[in-house]
A and B are shown apart, each in its own frame.
Chain A
Amino acid sequence: MQHAVELEELGAEIVDASSFLERAEAELSLRIIGQRDVIRRIFIAMLVNGHILLEGVPGLAKTLIISTAAAAMNLKFQRIQFTPDMLPADLVGTMIYNPKDMEFYPRKGPVFANIILADEINRSPAKVQSALLEAMQERQVTIGSQTFPLQEPFMVLATQNPIEHEGTYLLPEAQVDRFMMKVIVDYPSYDEELEIMIRSATTATRAPVKAVVQPEDIFRARALIDRIYVDQRVQHYIVDLVVATRNPGLYGMTELQAMIEYGASPRASIFLLLAAKAHAFLHHRPYITPEDVKAIAYDTLRHRIRPGYEAEADNMKSDDIIRQILQNVQVP
């Protein structure tokens, strides 16, 4: 069987270019036990210029995963703890007056880094959230009258605590939609927890994380991901899935119609395709299959579907809706 020549060449290039991910994973596994899916999602978002909303109870090594990933990829990492008294200037920076030459100079804020951990983003007021989300979208920040582009690669990982909502400012749907994925960080398994305990219960200083990946590797990977082959059948499958979140009745899921208040936006189709491409890249493939789409469907769609009152009455979450959609939309 013959492949198109271009695809064969691309396949070989991808195998070569994606090897850095194994190196990074190996380095991360020295520090992080379990959470493999979260790590892979971070790679996926990094490879296609996306941002991630992480949700999980405290103590699940969210910060450790991100800081270690940044160090392994030789990227500048900044952790910003969002608080109710925070101002946009605390994030993006401000103009500082220099009395010597009697001029204002811009002082860049913590947003000027490659990987930003916006810890508990829902604790700060809307204007601070907006400032960060604008930086995410525009990839540039304006301080005073000067505009500064943000460094590439630039990725924001925002965390939300799902069990504490008092004194928080929930992210509006329009802003949540800007995150490529919403990843649920779950508890480790029994064996993983045992290993975490044994490895972490020490007073010894940890060995520094080695930078096994360079930003150039990421840029090269991005260029290859853009060339990944997407068949029309898969394109239609992605659109079918997204349309099914808005109008499940069209796909024979009439009972689901009342369960959904609103479905995924067109941004979901774009991010589904991008994330599926990155997923195929992680698996060293020059083409995407419906398996790639299904693999990232939950993370890409869960924050874009709002279950209706009936769904809430039935204790049905957006993940349950996505499961039904994936089970009912015919695969090409």
Chain B
Amino acid sequence: MEQGDESLRILLIDDNHDHARILQWAFKKTGRKDEFTYFDDGSSALQYLKTTDSGGNIRPDLIFLDLNLPRLDGREVLRLLKSEEGTKGIPVIIVSSSEREEDVRKAYELGASSYVSKSSILDDVNPVLQTIQAYWGSAAKLPLRK
């Protein structure tokens, strides 16, 4: 449980800069010291992740992924993340403005660890954090976590 209080390296992918900014602010506001790496499109994020092991980039602990992305759609990004050996162990939380049932279901099918709506994060970031902590708590002992 102590690990949940640690600052996390979070990769944030969202085309909406405002949303990215507000999200980071909401996290920071809680007093956490998480480290965000931000991309506004899926391809660059994937490119970045490819070099985490060899090219010196730091492998993120968590990925926040928006679904509604230009060009490479969020669902496609998720699918690629989960199909790559190097990235499939990183938990992905979908952060979307959509509350559509099929979007949620699809995300879980593709291997998302959680799904939160942007509105709810704005209203209260705590449930999200709890989700993260819960995940962190249960995932701490897994061998993937090096």
Chain A bound to chain B = no
User: Residues of A with Cβ closer than 8 Å to B?
Assistant: none
